[in-house]
Amino acid sequence: MSRITFATVWFGGCSGCHMSLLDLDAWLFDLASKVELVYGPLADQKTFPDGVDLTLVEGAIANEEHLALAREIRRKTRVLVALGDCAVTGNVTALRNLAGDPSGLLQQIYAERGDPTLAVPRAPGIVPRLIERVTPLHAAVPVDHFLPGCPPSAPRIRAMLEALLAGAEPSEIGRFG
């Protein structure tokens, strides 16, 4: 049986959802027999490839780089899953919205609250511009499945992946947005 192409993406999140994915332990070998990992923080691809069958997204949309990549991923992915509460609702990452307009935020973080001799790195491509409000993934692009949890446990991730790989509707997860 040919393997499907599989990607994972890390936007505005703490990596806890990817750690939960790695908690699948020995089942990762079963997964590897069914999927070919083509993009993600666990791989070394620099660009998101065309024609990806299944993509899991951890984290909220917090900056222009996230937004552009989310749109590219949606164009190039057949089944898109929001993995974990940051992708599903904004969660911890969206607490930034309480600070209001983010225009001065990087200045505060890099300069005023850090070493006062430092400034915000300005070289192109180093620090993406923050978007006005952090949003969940489905506010930026249509999402096919949602797996809430902070993080979702490994057994729940496995149940979802087993269903999706079998071509079935995952029973444990919601569909909204």
Q: Which residues bind ligand SF4 (CB under 6 A)?
A: 13-14, 16-17, 58-59, 84-86, 91-92, 150-151
Look-up of token digits 């609702």: 89
User: Residue 44, Cα to own-chain centre: how many angstroms?
Assistant: 16
- The tokens for 131 are 């978007």
Looking at the Cβ atoms of 5 and 20, the one nearer to ligand SF4 is 20
- The tokens for 173 are 């997860």
Count of C-beta atoms within a 10 Å radius of residue 156: 17
Contact (CB, 8 A) for 7 and 48:
yes
Looking at the Cβ atoms of 5 and 88, the one nearer to ligand SF4 is 88
Separation CA 49–CA 17 (nearest Å)? 22
Looking at the Cβ atoms of 13 and 170, the one nearer to ligand SF4 is 13
Least distance from C-beta 90 to ligand SF4, angstroms?
A: 9
Looking at the Cβ atoms of 99 and 166, the one nearer to ligand SF4 is 99
Least distance from C-beta 134 to ligand SF4, angstroms?
A: 11
Least distance from C-beta 147 to ligand SF4, angstroms?
A: 10
Contact (CB, 8 A) for 56 and 8:
yes
Least distance from C-beta 8 to ligand SF4, angstroms?
A: 12
Look-up of token digits 């089942």: 27
